[in-house]
Amino acid sequence: VLKALSLGAKAVGVGRYYLFPLAAAGQPGVERALEQMRVEIERGMRLMGCSSIEQLSRNNLRFR
């Protein structure tokens, strides 16, 4: 998600990310999965030195 946003995406689709939690635990499972994704995105942004999505840019990425 962070890579796509850093490359200029306006939105990012996560595909079937929520289907397994939905099947296993219903709505609470989906809510937990989305909360976990939010926490991971925030952690990644902190590690990149960004405090908002607007600060994401190609400069935050390493190309090999």
Whole-angstrom Cα distance, residue 13 to residue 1?
8
Domain boundaries, the chain: 2-60
pLDDT digits (tens, 9 = 90+) for 47-56: 999 999 999 9
| pLDDT of amino acid 41 | 96
* Structure-token pair, residue 54: 């607007």
pTM: 0.84
Do 2 and 45 contact (CB within 8 A), yes or no? Answer: yes
pLDDT digits (tens, 9 = 90+) for 4-61: 999 999 999 988 888 999 999 999 999 999 999 999 999 999 999 999 999 999 999 9
CA 15 to chain centre: 12
| pLDDT of amino acid 18 | 87
Whole-angstrom Cα distance, residue 16 to residue 55?
28
| pLDDT of amino acid 64 | 86
